[in-house]
């Protein structure tokens, strides 16, 4: 496909220079990189908050700071990681960069809107961080009422920041939906799209449909604080539990925004590094859409003990069990792809295999939490904290790392240091388990979450967990080094270092500004290794 | 299915205090074992395949296996059946947790920042302590005085949020004598992790004796009555009475008659100032402390109760 | 809308699209998706309104009595009229009659202004008589029967306020369209922005058509 009619030294990185050529760029690849730098920075801060949490919890009683400070730190950890890292993460960085390339397009449907999304996101993020310099926030990232109405901290600013960042998410989703519908290369029927594209599309549907409801929920919370309209405040005849319904109506689908693109990456990695066609392509594609659809009707499983009726709990538990099935199908399909494959163990694949391991655990514990009789005991304990870290970090973050190493040569035209990258995997994988597996046990033992202090019986497991956190952060700092060194002085990368079959590998590394010299014409599926 | 309830679940779960706890643990054991099997299949299978099918050469050919309807049916149907079974069992246990028993011993619980106020129908009142007789249905009628809290007894495997503006209920029947932790498990601010209570299960005779004792508040000397109110209203969660340590608010030990700087000028700790601080805490806040922390007890204390508190604080030496 | 078959004349289509038609179809899809998000956002407010209306029917009836259904109905006609002039603004641009298009857009602006003026009078009368949102409403001052009447007016001001904000945004966009029409930017080959803003304006109208009966008529 990519005949070298263009100068091989001219690519999207080198063609235009100067700060303005980046800040005003309409190139989806540059915008993806700008998101990457921002989100990496936010991840560092959110990660610092996590380290502080674990340090404080190293021993019972005040260790580093007061209870009030601890409550602020945990709130920022959650809010930063959710709104600024994991929700935008894959779509804004790898999605922006690779969606057009994978469908053979020259850009996304609305490049100016894409750039605008980045500015909207940055504005929201700056507003969010401004609260660190004013009265901070201490409500937990979930802003439950009435506490969030009464507390004297900067709830309004933070909530408006989340609203603004939500707008950015909506615009990205909207852009991707139109791109997938309208800009596929000739011959690329929907069943010839890579599964990463399917996952981004399913995610985009959730982004567009769920985020507006978060938007109005946050605006209503602001109205409650400023005007006291009374819908969430019992003193004025309102219902605090109504806030939870509104909030989780978005926030449950949001967790699928976090995991669906990660699963898309895993499909790419497992197939590429087994050099075998993906098993059950249509099942995986349909399951992504199915999960997106069903994700809208399970929100009450966050509220089994909130005071909602028994019948509501029963319905939500039942439907949540159903959503476990498409997820299980994907896991088995990936396993079946490995069967009789030709498996190699470069870092992207290590992270993919790590995902399978960790997401298996995260997934089965999700089923446990969906089980009514048992959730009563586990709700709001460290069991839940461990569950969602297994799926969000053990799942999404591992997929981001794998995807990032996989696509690194394409993005930067250089190879990263493979041995060091493998060490990052070992540190992160082992460190992650040491940090979070004890938290399942702590939860089973009854330790509630968001606890500044704890009874002595929980001390040894907390210590182990903290030591694990040091290991993970070592792994991430090493990964940062690997990335920076790779970008600055890595070996030159060929167009297709992994021998993969999707369209992005048919163009040089890094790609030229317009992606493809000639628009590709697609004649087969995306994983044809015959 | 008690045979499922073996060491694994048991050693990490708190002591079982009720029959429902045993049922929860059985279900949890089942979930654990099925999860373990699922993980062995997935993770074990993964490890087995990547080792067996590791790349031999750059020219490896792989078969074009796109689907297998039988296998796909199996690994959709079996998980579905398993999940629905878990759902049904879970509902069964949950239903019995939510179905309130008739003729239970009813106790009122008030969650507040940051303590549990417990009120018995006989008039007995405690804070952070629930005493119940063994082998008796007990029903808690709960609400909150300010923000969301959640009443959680790990040993009983039960939990329910306390919501301001409405009542929520919880029931249990303990078959084990002893003391069990009560935790607040819905984030509620500064001392969320400090709202630790004790649920004490005693014999019927011990319970009857205790209840009678607790209900006899009205015949107590004023200062003793004040001590009782001080304890019930959980003033000690913020104000030290045995030493000069600052918890949240100023210590009250040996402070009677002492001058201190406040936001309303210099004040001595006397009858007037004490009464005002209880009813309108933000009027004259001691220098160095924040306002809007201490709640007002306006409308909660009778004049006699206020006098009792004053006498109690006077006597703190 | 008429079936449209543009050639590449007049307006250059963006490079990543095959043709002006291709870009036009994509733009329309994008605009409709955005409208879905707007409907969902207002939908949340409607849900809140319906829930509390079920719980406090007398309080809602008491609040609704303070609204003038005549003014609300007048405003409904104003907005429907403005949707007509907006549609004509698109139509005349499509058939290369930019002068008529321009004046229809100006008429739309004028009707939007009338709508906002009526709303101004409604709001002013509420402020004068003390029917303020939420905790600002003093139950004694207005001699309310329902203690939480502030909730009704909180919802009233939030819903009509958010809607009014969208009317203002729409008017700014229409003003910009009028300027571009005058400049000769639109013709039968290219009128996407006019149609896009038109869709936005129709949705804003549609939301009012739901707001009006909910707030003014369902007593």
DSSP codes joined into one string, A241-297: HHHHHHHHHHHHHHHHHHHHHHHHHHHHHHHHHHTSPPTTHHHHHHHHHHHHHHGGG
Cβ-defined contact of C158 to A219 (cutoff 8 Å): yes
* Least Cα separation, residue B314 to chain A (angstroms): 31
Stretch (H or E) spanning B179:
strand B178-184
In this complex, is the C-beta atom of B166 within 8 Å of any C-beta atom belonging to chain A?
yes
Domain assignment present for B57: no
Which of A324, A290, C124 is CA-nearest to residue B87? A324
**Contacting residues of A for C43, CB less than 8 Å apart:** 212-213, 216
| Minimal CA separation from A311 to chain B, in Å | 10
State the pLDDT at residue C101.
Answer: 95
Distance from CA of A182 to the nearest CA of C (A): 6
Mean pLDDT to the nearest integer, B117-145? 93
CA–CA separation, A266 and A260 (whole Å): 10
**Average pLDDT of the residues of chain A:** 96
B245 has a pLDDT exceeding 50: yes
**Boundary-marking domain end, from B215, B241, B270:** B215
The 3-state DSSP class for residue A375 equals helix
Tokens of A104: 């053979």
End-of-domain residue from the set B180, B197, B215: B215
- Domains of chain C, start order: 20-216 (1.20.120.80)
Rounded to whole angstroms, the Cα distance separating A37 from A34 reads 5
Of A447, A217, A303, nearest in space to B163 by CA? A303
Residue B60, in any domain of the structure: no
- DSSP code per residue over B98-114: HSPPTT-EEEEEEEETT
Whether A280 and B72 lie within 8 Å, measured CB to CB: yes
Distance (Å) from the C-alpha of residue B105 to the closest C-alpha of chain A? 21
Note the pLDDT of residue C9: 45
* Cβ proximity of A402 and A351 under 8 Å: yes
Residues B156-162 have a mean pLDDT of 97
Chain B residues inside the 8 Å CB shell of A275: 55, 60, 62
Tokens of A119: 């500015």
Of B50, B94, B185, the CB nearest to A343: B50
Give yes or no for residue B5 having a pLDDT over 60: no
Give the 3-state secondary structure of residue A359: helix
How far is the alpha carbon of A176 from chain C, nearest alpha carbon, in Å? 10
User: For chain C, how big is the Rg over CA atoms in Å?
Assistant: 21
Average pLDDT over chain B reads 91
Rounded to a whole number of angstroms, the CA Rg of chain B reads: 28
Instruction: Kindly state the helix (H) or strand (E) to which residue B120 belongs, with its residue range.
Output: strand B115-120
Task: Say how far apart CA C215 and CA C153 lie, in whole Å.
Answer: 10
**Both B225 and B211 in a single domain?**
no
Which DSSP letter does residue C27 get?
H
Contact B233, B117 (CB under 8 A): yes
Same domain? B190 vs B238: no
Alpha-carbon span A395 to A328, nearest angstrom: 14
Question: Both tokens of residue A167?
Answer: 């707008």
Helical ranges in A413-521 per DSSP H: 418-444, 459-489
Report how many domains make up chain B: 3
User: Is A213 close to C40, i.e. CB distance below 8 A?
Assistant: yes
Q: Determine the distance in angstroms separating the CA of A222 from the nearest CA of chain B, rounded to an integer.
A: 17
- Contact at CB, A231 and C150, closer than 8 angstroms: no
Judged by a CB distance cut-off of 8 A, whether residue B261 touches chain A is no
Q: Which chain B residues have a beta carbon less than 8 Å from that of A454?
A: 193
Give residue B147's region: left, alpha or beta (phi > 0; psi -120 to 50). beta
Check CB contact under 8 Å for C48 and A242.
yes
Question: What are C183-217's pLDDT values in tens digits?
Answer: 999 999 999 999 999 999 999 999 999 999 999 98
pLDDT band with cut points at 50, 70 and 90 for residue B298: confident
Mutation target for A interface from B90, B100, B110: give the one with most A CBs within 10 A.
Answer: B90
The pLDDT of residue C12 is: 78
Residues B87 and B133 grouped into a single domain: no
Cβ neighbours of C48 in A, within 8 Å: 220, 231, 242, 246
> Contact, B248 vs B293, CB < 8 A?
yes
Whether A131 contacts A157, CB under 8 Å: yes
Tokens of B259: 């001058």
Instruction: Flag whether residue A178 sits within 8 Å of chain C, measured between CB atoms.
Output: yes
φ, ψ at C182 (rounded to 5°)? -55, -35
Contacts of A146 in chain B (CB under 8 A): 146-148, 164
By the 8 A CB rule, do A490 and A417 touch? yes
Q: Does A181 touch chain C (CB under 8 A)?
A: yes
Please give the angle made by the CA atoms of A321, A324 and A326, to the nearest 5 degrees: 135
With pLDDT > 90 as the criterion, what percentage of chain B qualifies? Answer: 73
> CA A330, A331, A335, A341: dihedral to nearest 10 degrees?
40
Measured distance CA(C125)–CA(B300) in Å, rounded: 41
Q: How many CB atoms lie within 10 A of CB A320?
A: 26
Does residue B169 belong to any structural domain of this protein?
yes
Do residue B258 and residue B208 come from a single domain? no
CB contact under 8 A, B93 and A307: no
Mean pLDDT for each 10-residue chunk of chain A (530 residues)?
59 94 96 98 98 97 94 97 97 98 96 98 98 96 96 95 97 97 96 98 97 96 94 91 96 97 98 97 96 96 96 97 96 97 97 98 97 97 98 96 98 97 98 98 96 95 97 97 96 95 95 93 92
Q: Are residues B163 and B185 in the same domain?
A: yes
Q: Residue A170's pLDDT is what?
A: 97
Check CB contact under 8 Å for A236 and C150.
yes
Look at residue B124 in the predicted model and tell me its pLDDT: 86
Tokens for A34, please give them.
């700008």
Report yes or no on chains C and B touching (3+ CB pairs under 8 A): no
Judged by CB atoms closer than 8 Å, whether chains meet at A310 and B165 is answered as no
Examine residue B58 and state whether it is found in any structural domain, yes or no.
Answer: no
pLDDT at B220 over 90: no
Helix (H, G, I), strand (E, B) or coil at B178: strand
Which value, to the nearest 10 degrees, does the dihedral of the CA atoms of residues A377, A311, A258, B30 take? Answer: 40
Residues of chain C with pLDDT under 70: 1-10, 219
pLDDT of C174: 97
**Residue C127, burial from CB neighbour count under 10 angstroms (0-12, 13-18, 19+):** exposed
Query: In B, which residues are within 8 Å of A364 by CB distance?
Result: 31, 34-35, 38-39
Kindly indicate the confidence band of residue B281, based on its pLDDT and cuts at 50, 70 and 90.
Answer: very high
Contact A302, A369 (CB under 8 A): no
CA–CA distance, B233 with B115 (Å, rounded to integer): 8
pLDDT of residue A225: 95
CATH fold of A27-506: Cytochrome C Oxidase; Chain A (1.20.210)
Taking residue B20's Cβ as centre, other Cβ atoms within 10 Å add up to 22
pLDDT value for A4 = 46
Alpha-carbon gap, residue A137 to A154, rounded angstroms: 5
> A339 CB contacts (<8 Å, ≥6 apart)?
A279, B49, B53, B65
CA nearest A200: which of A253, A258, A157?
A258
CATH of the domain at B251: 1.10.760.10
* Structure tokens given for A508: 């040089």
Q: Å from A25 to nearest chain C CA?
A: 15
Element of type H or E holding B140: strand B138-144
Residue indicated by tokens 């857009």: C105
Q: What count of CB pairs under 8 Å joins A to C?
A: 121
The reply to whether residue A212 touches residue C41, judged by beta carbons under 8 angstroms, is yes
Contact residues, chain A, for C147 at CB < 8 Å: 237
Q: Looking at the domain assignment, is residue B158 inside a domain?
A: yes
Q: Are strands B105-112 and A491-492 parallel, antiparallel or unpaired?
A: unpaired
Report the C-alpha gap between A160 and A166 in whole angstroms. 10
> Residues A232, A217: contact at Cβ < 8 Å?
no
Per DSSP, the three-state class of B213 is helix
User: Which residues of chain C neighbour A209 with C-beta distances below 8 Å?
Assistant: 36-37, 40
Alpha-carbon distance values, A382 to A59, A438, A445, B182 (Å)? 16, 9, 9, 16
Contacts of the segment A299-303: beta carbons below 8 A, 24+ positions apart: A299/A245, A299/A248, A299/A249, A299/A251, A299/A252, A299/A253, A300/A245, A300/A248, A301/A252, A301/A369, A301/A370, A301/A375, A302/A244, A302/A248, A302/A251, A302/A252, A303/A241, A303/A244, A303/A245, A303/A248
Integer angstrom CA distances of residue A328 from A290, A390, B121: 13, 16, 52
Which of A178, A213, A238 shows the shortest C-beta gap to C30? A178
B149 lies in the same domain as B196: yes
The three-state DSSP-derived secondary structure of C181-196 is: HHCCCCECCECHHHHH
* C157 close to A (CB below 8 A): yes
Please tell me the predicted confidence (pLDDT) of residue C219.
Answer: 61
Rounded Cα distance between B273 and B254, Å, is 16
Pair B269, B239: CB distance under 8 Å = no
What is the nearest CA distance from A34 to chain C, expressed in angstroms? 21
Interface check for C158 against chain A (CB to CB < 8 A): the answer is yes
Question: Which of B182, B215, B248 is the last residue before a domain boundary?
Answer: B215
Domain extent, residue B89, equals 2-52+66-98
The residues, ordered by sequence, that sit 6+ positions from A402 with a Cβ below 8 Å of its Cβ are A265, A266, A269, A347, A348, A349, A350, A351, A352, A354, A355
Residue B64 pLDDT > 60: yes
Positive or negative, the CA dihedral A180, A186, A188, A190 is: positive
Closest-approach residue (CA) in chain A for B14: A445
Instruction: Measure CB to CB from residue A228 to each of C30, C37, C150 and give the nearest one.
Output: C150
B168/chain A closest Cα distance in angstroms: 6
Of A307, A321, A356, the CB nearest to B87: A321
- B70 domain-assigned: yes
Rounded CA separation B122/B136 (Å): 17
């Amino acid at each position: 496909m990519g005949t070298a009619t263009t100068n091989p030294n001219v690519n999207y990185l080198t063609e235009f220079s100067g700060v303005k050529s980046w800040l005003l760029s309409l190139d989806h690849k540059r915008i993806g990189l700008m998101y990457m730098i921002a989100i990496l920075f936010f991840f560092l801060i959110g990660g610092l908050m996590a380290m502080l949490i674990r340090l404080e919890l190293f021993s019972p009683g005040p260790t580093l700071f007061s209870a009030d400070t601890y409550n602020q730190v945990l709130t920022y950890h959650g809010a930063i990681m959710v709104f600024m890292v994991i929700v935008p993460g894959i779509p804004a960085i790898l999605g922006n960069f690779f969606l057009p390339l994978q469908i053979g397009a020259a850009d996304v449907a609305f490049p100016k809107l894409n750039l605008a999304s980045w500015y909207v996101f940055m504005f929201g993020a700056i507003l969010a961080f401004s609260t660190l310099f004013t009265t901070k926030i201490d409500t937990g990232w979930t802003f439950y009422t009435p506490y969030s109405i009464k507390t004297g901290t900067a709830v309004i600013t933070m909530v408006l920041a989340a609203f603004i960042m939500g707008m950015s998410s909506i615009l990205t989703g909207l852009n991707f939906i139109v791109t997938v519908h309208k800009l596929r290369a000739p011959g690329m029927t929907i069943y010839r799209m890579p599964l990463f594209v399917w996952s981004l599309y399913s995610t985009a549907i959730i982004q567009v449909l769920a985020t507006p409801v978060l938007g109005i929920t946050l605006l209503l919370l602001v109205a409650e604080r400023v005007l006291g309209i009374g819908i969430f405040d019992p003193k004025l005849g309102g219902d605090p539990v109504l806030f939870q319904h509104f909030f989780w109506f978005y926030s449950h689908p949001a967790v699928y925004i976090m995991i669906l693109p990660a699963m898309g990456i895993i499909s790419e990695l497992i197939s590429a590094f087994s050099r075998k066609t993906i098993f059950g392509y249509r099942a995986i594609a349909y399951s992504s859409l199915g999960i997106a659809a069903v994700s809208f009707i399970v929100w009450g499983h966050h509220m089994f003990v909130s005071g909602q009726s028994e019948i509501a709990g029963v319905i939500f538990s039942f439907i949540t069990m159903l959503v476990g099935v498409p997820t299980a199908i994907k896991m088995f399909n990936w396993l079946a792809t490995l069967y009789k494959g030709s498996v190699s163990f470069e870092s992207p694949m290590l992270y993919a295999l790590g995902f399978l391991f960790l997401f298996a655990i995260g997934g089965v514990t999700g089923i446990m939490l969906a089980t009514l009789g048992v959730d009563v005991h586990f709700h709001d304990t460290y069991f839940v904290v461990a569950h969602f870290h297994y799926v969000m970090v053990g799942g999404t973050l591992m997929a981001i790392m794998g995807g990032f190493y996989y696509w690194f040569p394409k993005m930067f035209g250089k190879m990263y240091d493979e041995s060091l990258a493998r060490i990052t995997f070992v540190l992160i994988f082992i460190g992650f388990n040491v940090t979070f597996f004890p938290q399942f046990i702590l939860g089973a033992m009854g330790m509630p979450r968001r606890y500044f202090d704890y009874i002595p019986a929980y001390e040894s497991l907390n210590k182990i967990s903290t030591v694990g956190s040091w290991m993970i952060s070592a792994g991430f700092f090493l990964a940062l080094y690997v990335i920076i060194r790779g970008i600055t002085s890595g070996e030159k990368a060929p167009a297709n270092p992994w021998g993969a079959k999707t369209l992005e590998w048919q163009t040089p590394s890094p790609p030229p500004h317009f992606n493809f010299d000639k628009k590709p014409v697609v004649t087969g599926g995306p994983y044809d290794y015959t | 299915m008690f045979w499922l309830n073996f060491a694994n679940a048991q050693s990490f779960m708190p002591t079982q205090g009720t029959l429902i706890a045993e049922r929860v643990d059985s279900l949890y054991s089942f979930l654990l074992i099925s999860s373990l099997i699922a993980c062995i299949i997935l993770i074990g299978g993964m490890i087995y395949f990547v080792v067996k099918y590791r790349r031999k050469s750059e020219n490896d050919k792989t078969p074009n296996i796109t689907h297998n309807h039988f296998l796909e049916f199996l690994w959709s149907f079996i998980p579905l059946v398993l999940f629905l079974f878990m759902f049904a069992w879970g509902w069964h246990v949950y239903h019995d947790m939510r179905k309130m028993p008739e003729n239970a011993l009813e106790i009122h619980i008030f969650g507040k920042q940051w303590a549990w106020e417990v009120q018995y129908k006989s008039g007995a009142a405690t804070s952070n302590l629930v005493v119940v007789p063994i082998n008796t249905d007990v029903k808690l009628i709960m609400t909150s005085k300010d923000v969301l809290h959640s009443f959680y007894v790990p040993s009983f495997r039960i939990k329910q949020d306390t919501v301001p503006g409405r009542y929520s209920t919880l029931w249990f029947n303990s078959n084990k004598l002893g003391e069990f932790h009560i935790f607040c498990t819905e984030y509620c601010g500064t001392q969320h992790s400090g709202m630790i209570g004790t649920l004490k299960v005693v014999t019927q005779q011990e319970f009857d004796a205790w209840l009678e004792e607790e209900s006899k508040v009205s015949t107590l000397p004023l200062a003793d009555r004040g001590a009782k109110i001080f304890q019930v209203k959980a003033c000690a969660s913020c104000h030290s009475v045995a030493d000069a340590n600052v918890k949240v608010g100023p210590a009250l030990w040996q402070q009677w008659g002492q001058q201190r700087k406040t936001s309303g000028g210099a004040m001595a700790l006397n009858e007037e100032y004490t009464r005002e601080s209880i009813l309108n805490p933000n009027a004259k806040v001691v220098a160095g402390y924040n306002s809007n922390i201490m709640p007002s007890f306006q409308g909660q204390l009778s004049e006699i109760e206020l006098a009792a508190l004053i006498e109690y604080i006077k006597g703190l030496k | 809308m008429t079936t449209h078959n543009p050639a590449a004349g007049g307006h250059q289509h963006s490079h990543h699209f095959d043709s002006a038609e291709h870009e036009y179809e994509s733009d329309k899809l994008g605009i409709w998706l955005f409208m879905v998000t707007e409907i969902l956002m207002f939908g949340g407010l409607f849900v809140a309104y319906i829930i509390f209306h079920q719980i406090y029917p007398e309080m809602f009836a008491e609040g609704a009595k303070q609204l003038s259904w005549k003014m609300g109905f007048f405003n409904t006609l104003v907005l429907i009229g403005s949707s007509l002039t907006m549609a004509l603004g698109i139509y005349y641009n499509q058939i290369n009659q930019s002068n008529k298009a321009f004046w229809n857009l100006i008429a739309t602006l004028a009707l939007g202004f009338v709508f906002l003026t009526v709303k101004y009078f409604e709001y002013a009368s509420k402020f004068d008589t003390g029917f303020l949102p939420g905790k600002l409403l003093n139950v004694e001052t207005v001699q309310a029967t329902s203690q939480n009447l502030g909730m009704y007016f909180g919802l009233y001001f939030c819903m009509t306020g958010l809607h009014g904000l969208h009317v203002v945004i729409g008017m700014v966009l229409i003003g910009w369209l009028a300027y571009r029409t005058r400049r000769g930017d639109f013709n039968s080959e290219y009128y996407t922005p006019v149609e896009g803003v038109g869709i936005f304006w129709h949705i804003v109208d549609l939301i009012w058509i739901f707001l009006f009966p909910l707030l003014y008529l369902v007593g």
